[in-house]
């Protein structure tokens, strides 16, 4: 494919979320460059033999980068791949990525197996039920979870808490429900069975690296029982 033909495909996408080099010499006009988050993960250049789940893949930047490193990648998004730039990324790059149109709550019944790496980036604050989503993710994580989320820490600094946003009052986006503070995210991770290895806050964003651990108290079994009335 020529650069001009690739450009024509990119131009057909009404909105790009990720700004990245999608084809040699061709960059997408995304809302932000996600490359710095990839750097924060500190992943090895060779991921052969690793299974990766990219939750909320959007235009597929992270799925593409990890597939290029040899990982077997499963990407999910609540939208069809033609509703964002994913299908263009797929057409312009010779990588094998398994795509499913589904949301995070559907992971429980999807039977996709266990994953060595799970990317949960820019998703948590969009979810009405944050802890249920984290519990669902825990059930298919056998290695490392990477979380990045909107986070506000100007209230209840010493207490785990989340600020609720009515309607579209956060960034004029009706899918933005919560602004959890750092402690809220860390405590939720503990209760669903993750141990936090490192975390970082900058501005209104929080980045967390966590691994599955056995926990007392709520733990996976009791957390699951807590949802009986909803299933």
> What tens digit of pLDDT does each residue of 185-215 get?
999 999 999 999 999 999 999 999 999 998 7
Taking the domains of the chain in order of start, what are their residue ranges?
Answer: 3-225
pLDDT band at 222 (very low <50, low <70, confident <90, very high): low
Q: Is the pTM of this model over 0.75?
A: yes
CATH for 3-225 is: 3.40.50.150
The pLDDT tens digits of the residues spanning 33-86 come to 999 999 999 999 999 999 999 999 999 999 999 999 999 999 999 999 999 999
Which of these, 189, 192, 100, 184, lies nearest to 139 by C-alpha position?
Answer: 192
Mean pLDDT in the chain?
94
Q: Which residues fall within 8 angstroms of residue 224, CB to CB, at 6 or more apart? A: 135
Higher pLDDT, 193 or 229: 193
DSSP symbols for the chain: --HHHHHHHHHT-S--SB-SEEETTEE---SB-THHHHHHHT--S--TT-EEEEET-TT-HHHHHHHHTT-EEEEEESS-GGGSSHHHHHHHS---EEEEE--GGGHHHH----EEEEEEES-GGG-SSHHHHHHHHHTTEEEEEEEEEE---SS-TTS--EEE--TTTTTT-TT--EEE-HHHHHHHHHHHTEEEEEEEEETTEEEEEEEE---STTHHHHHHHTTTTT-
Q: Which residues fall within 8 angstroms of residue 138, CB to CB, at 6 or more apart? A: 145, 192, 193, 194, 212, 220
């Amino acid at each position: 494919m020529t650069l001009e033909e690739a450009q024509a495909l990119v131009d057909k996408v009404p909105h790009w979320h990720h700004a990245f080099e999608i084809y040699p010499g061709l960059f997408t006009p995304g809302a932000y460059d996600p490359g710095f988050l990839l750097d924060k993960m500190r992943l090895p250049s060779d991921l052969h033999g690793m299974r990766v789940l990219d939750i909320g893949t959007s235009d597929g930047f992270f799925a593409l980068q990890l597939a290029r490193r040899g990982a077997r990648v499963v990407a999910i998004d609540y939208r069809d791949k033609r509703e964002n730039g994913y299908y263009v990324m797929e057409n312009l790059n010779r990588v094998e990525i398994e795509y499913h149109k589904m949301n995070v709550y559907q992971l429980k019944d999807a039977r996709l197996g266990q994953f060595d790496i799970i990317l949960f980036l820019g998703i948590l604050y969009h979810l009405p039920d944050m802890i249920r989503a984290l519990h669902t993710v825990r059930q298919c994580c056998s290695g490392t979870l990477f979380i990045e989320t909107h986070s506000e820490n100007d209230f209840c600094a010493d207490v785990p808490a989340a600020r609720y946003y009515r309607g579209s009052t956060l960034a004029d986006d009706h899918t933005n429900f919560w602004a959890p503070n750092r402690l809220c995210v860390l405590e939720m991770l503990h209760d669903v069975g993750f141990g936090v290895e490192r975390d970082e806050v900058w501005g209104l964003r929080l980045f967390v690296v966590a691994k599955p651990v056995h926990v007392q108290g709520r733990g996976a079994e009791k957390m699951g029982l807590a949802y009986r009335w909803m299933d």
